[in-house]
Amino acid sequence: MSSTLSSVALVEELQAKSREVDPLVNAICTPNPAALTQAAHLDTERDEGRVRGPLHGVPILVKDNIDTADLPTTAGSLALADQPPPPNDAPLVRRLREAGCIILGKTNLSEWANFRGSASSSGWSAYGGLTRNPYALNRSAGGSSSGSGAAVAAGLADYAIGTETNGSIVCPAALNGIVGLKPTVGLIPQQGIVPISHSQDTAGPMTRTVTQTAALLSVMTGSKTDYTEHCRGEDLSDVRIGIPRGPLWGYSIGLDEVTERALEILSRCGATLVDHLSLPSPGGDEDQLQVLSHELKVDLAAYLSTRAPGGPKTLDDLIAFNEQHADQELQWFGQELFERAAATEGLSSPIYVAARLTALRAGRDGIDNLLIDNQLDALVSPAYSPAWAIDLVNGDHVLGSSSSHAALAGYPLLSVPSGLVAGLPVGITFSGTARSDATLIRLAHAFETARIKADGPFPTPELTQWV
């Protein structure tokens, strides 16, 4: 997209691209009919010398579990599709508008952010249908911020917002060859976002470049911090980066080879690499499920209470709706995670308290102890396995990832493209302690700059289907 275009011309260009491309990718579930009007207003402001900031007049896509008062927010569910839009913008959306961003539309997602049934397929929702990977249309766009990742990769916008509980930003970022940051939990307000877990949920930027991610994070936080100041070029001579091996490696030979190449690039940037470290296991799946299940029941009821009367107000209401509309909602997978959450007994339950403590220790102690013991600034790992073939009958086939420790800790995680495996994008993730978001941006920008200098930019997706 050209930076010399007016906002009106830019929106018109993106809308034309969407008409051409999105029937194949299906990333945008709700276009904003007022986008051109908003663009014209912001062009007028610019002509009059009123520029709100670096993102004045920039089109942006927002995941369809984030409240927008002028557009539906459905979380991909038909249960919310016929309800009125939320009465207010989410605080982060309000900040986007105040900064002069144009809401181009809402992006499809894995329904209920991929926490309804255990055999789900990322990128599918009853409301939005199936989002596909622009690099290979028969392969997954990842989840749950599927539409945001695929839209940026397909050139439908340079900027998008996703949300993450465990992997939902960094997974589609890696699979679609873009940059995705899951910020420290609490850095961006959670209000107005359809929740899973208050201890792990956060919105975050998904963009083409690290500098764009930094600029968008500056707006989303609502602080005076300019994260683009940390995009300082390739020099990492004062930085120590740890490399946890163990289960974070070895699940994809091609991914490991690309990541070894990424380590060479980081070394050439001057970073000191401390290799062959290990993170303790993040704990059993049962503890993690207990945390998410207990928090979902409470947090979702609190969110639904903010919506207009007449719609669902509890998990039990949603379960009943899905049963009544099983031919649409339950055609590919069930709702056993909803049913499990509905049976929990609140956040004072000893089961929840114990599981939350175990999960928190596994995440925070694992990361912090490794950083402190080895005097490290951050950790680097392979991000996710290359995109798997879409299989609506059997669900996802994820080989491995690096998101769990940061998810349990509520710590930041940044995915940046590192290369291609058989034509499919893969990435590396940088992780660190609480509020180390700026450090991760610096490292990712240095790596991005050096990688592009060495290997060139990623190829443009060809939007073809292949096996």
Active site residues: 63, 144, 168
Query: Reading across the β-sheet that carries 159-164, which strands appear in turn?
Result: 28-31, 102-107, 59-63, 159-164, 202-207, 179-182, 413-421, 424-431, 378-382, 240-244, 272-277
Question: Which residue carries 């947090």 as its tokens?
Answer: 299
> Is the CA virtual torsion 399, 204, 181, 245 positive or negative?
negative
Element (H, E) at 241: strand 240-244
Q: What one-character-per-residue DSSP string does 260-325 give?
A: HHHHHHHHHTTPEEEEEE-PPP---HHHHHHHHHHHHHHHHHHHHTTSPTTS--SHHHHHHHHHHT
> Cβ distance 120 to 135 under 8 Å?
no
> Cβ distance 57 to 51 under 8 Å?
no
H-assigned helices in 129-234: 146-153, 170-176, 210-221
Give the HSE-up count for residue 308: Cα atoms under 13 Å, Cβ half-sphere.
16
Q: Report CA-CA distances (Å) from 297 to 145, 183, 222, 293, 302.
A: 21, 24, 29, 7, 9
- Start-to-end CA distance of the chain, whole Å, equals 30
